[in-house]
Chain A
Amino acid sequence: MIAVRGLRVRLGERDVLDGVDLDVPDDGVVAVMGPNGSGKTTLGRVLLGLVPPTTGTVTGVAGLRRAAVFQEDRLCEHFDAVANVRLVLPREVPSGTVAAELSALGLSPRAQRQPARDLSGGQRRRVAVARALLADADLVVLDEPFTGIDTAARAPVLAWVASACKGRSVLLITHDRDDATQLDARVVELGSPAHGH
């Protein structure tokens, strides 16, 4: 289990996080919610090892294989969808397997062959989601993973994500309580007096 205790992160002149406690189980989803600027993304970045805690401890992350859907899509623009996903997978994973998963996420075969720069926002997000959840990772941080995916197309993507999250530690950063419910997540509010537990 990942345990965050008394986490404070100071960026510039501001404490972005202060006194955060959080547990993320080895197999389960924790949804972090809160207003803009409450430090949700920074908390995810701390778990990914991208931002060091100013004070406090994060235990249980050493040696974990990590993956993420970042706030931005962060795709290799000249790679097609399949190549973007395969970049983070072992070489032996065939393109066909990745293509099948992308199809399950609603990406047409034609879209899968286009460079990422030619995909729409929703298509790009699906690729970012596939990249994070097909990667062989123990800890996955999903920062607003459904941004840009319209409501009508969201159900199958949510179902795919719920299935792919099984057996991993997942930190879901979201503004949408429905997403947390769909992923059977324990909700933690940041920015509230009782943030943490």
Chain B
Amino acid sequence: MTTSTTAPAARSAGRRVARPLLVAAAWVVVWWVAALVVGSRLLLPTPGAVASRFVELAGTPAFWATVAYSLVRIVAGFVLGTVLGTLVAVASARWGTVDALVSPAVGAIRATPVVSFIILVLIWVDSSRLAVVVSTLMVLPVTYAAVLEGIRRRDRSMLEVAAVFSVPLVRRLPAIDVPAVLPFFAAACQVGIGLAWKSGIAAEVIGLPDGSIGGQLYEAKVLLESADLFVWTGAVIALSLAVERLVATLLRRVPSSPAPARELSASSRVGP
């Protein structure tokens, strides 16, 4: 009896682990075949050459110092953009004047090409802080729009409950407001992390701060080191995914709000 119930579960778990590995392996094979067809390490290095270069670079303290340099700045930019975007969205939801003032500015930031910001910010601050500022500016509009939408789409019936029972704000926030806004905030974080990395690394490639991943990418381009380019790009992807996973794990600890339809279906059930 036990084996009959655990065997399908084990098979399902095995499939869950095996599937992404098989997908990755398939793409590595495609890459390998493409590299063999191209036949030039300069245009497209083989997976083996990239792996070997990664092992070589990862064995040096400079590699990890470079990773840490960019990681700290881009994550700082992401956190700053998220916090500022949230605060401004709360202020906009509360005061119409703030909304009227801020919404067009946020729209303008969103529409401005990232390179324009990078060049402009490079004039204002030194290159070591460039990635922080640019990441912040890219993340802020995304968080702002999502949090504002979440605030506006809170369940009005629950806000009525809070008003009737005179629930103080400090108790209403974790009970009603945060769970309602959280799904919007989480989606903004997911998009924001990717944006922070893309814009932050682009800023480093243009600003060339010493010891940054962007600087290494630029150097790889100048020296025609394609394998290095792949290694640093892979590092950026891995870091972005790791940060995204970490944020998702942290957000899962906060309770989320159900869909409004759930309330209706649950209250229509009969009997205790």
List residues of chain A with CB under 8 Å of any chain B CB: 48-50, 65-68, 70, 72-74, 76-79, 87-88, 106-107, 111, 117, 119-124, 126, 131, 135, 137, 148-150, 153
Contact = CB atoms under 8 A, between A and B. Distances in A.
B270 interface: yes
Given A123-B272, A135-B165, 19 more contacts: A49-B163, A49-B164, A50-B160, A50-B163, A66-B165, A68-B161, A70-B160, A73-B266, A74-B157, A74-B263, A77-B257, A78-B255, A117-B262, A121-B267, A121-B270, A122-B271, A126-B272, A149-B272, A150-B272
B23 to A, nearest CB: 35
B270 to A, nearest CB: 6
B190 interface: no
A135 B268 CA distance: 25
A78 B256 contact: yes
B193 interface: no
Nearest to B155: A74
B176 interface: yes
A148 B270 contact: yes
Contacts of B270: 120-122, 148, 150
Contacts of A49: 163-164
A77 B272 contact: no
Given A65-B166, A124-B267, A106 B161 contact: no
B253 interface: no
Interface centre among B158, B165, B167, B271, by most A CB within 10 Å?
A: B165
Closest 6 CB pairs of A and B: A122-B272, A78-B255, A121-B269, A88-B165, A77-B258, A76-B175
Contacts of A65: 166
B164 A50 contact: yes
Nearest to B165: A88
B164 A48 contact: yes
Contacts of A66: 164-166
Nearest to A137: B165
B271 A87 contact: no
Contact of A72 (B167, B256, B263): B263
Contacts of A88: 165, 167
Contact of A87 (B157, B164, B175, B255): B175
Nearest to B268: A121
24 contacts: A48-B164, A65-B166, A66-B164, A66-B165, A67-B164, A72-B264, A74-B158, A74-B160, A76-B179, A77-B262, A78-B256, A78-B257, A117-B258, A117-B266, A120-B271, A120-B272, A121-B270, A121-B271, A123-B272, A124-B266, A131-B165, A149-B272, A150-B270, A153-B272
Contacts of A72: 157, 263-264, 267
Contacts of B11: none
Nearest to B179: A78
Interface centre among A72, A76, A120, A148, by most B CB within 10 Å?
A: A76
B171 interface: yes
A66 B258 CA distance: 26
B82 to A, nearest CB: 23
A70 B272 contact: no
A66 B165 CA distance: 6
B180 to A, nearest CB: 10
A87 B263 contact: no
A120 B175 contact: no
A70 B257 CA distance: 19
Given A66-B165, A68-B164, A150 B262 contact: no
Contacts of B157: 70, 72, 74
B271 to A, nearest CB: 5
Contacts of A74: 157-158, 160-161, 263
B163 to A, nearest CB: 7
Interface centre among A66, A88, A122, by most B CB within 10 Å?
A: A88
Given A117-B258, A117-B262, A76 B158 contact: yes
A169 to B, nearest CB: 14
Contacts of A79: 175
B184 to A, nearest CB: 16
A135 B161 CA distance: 12
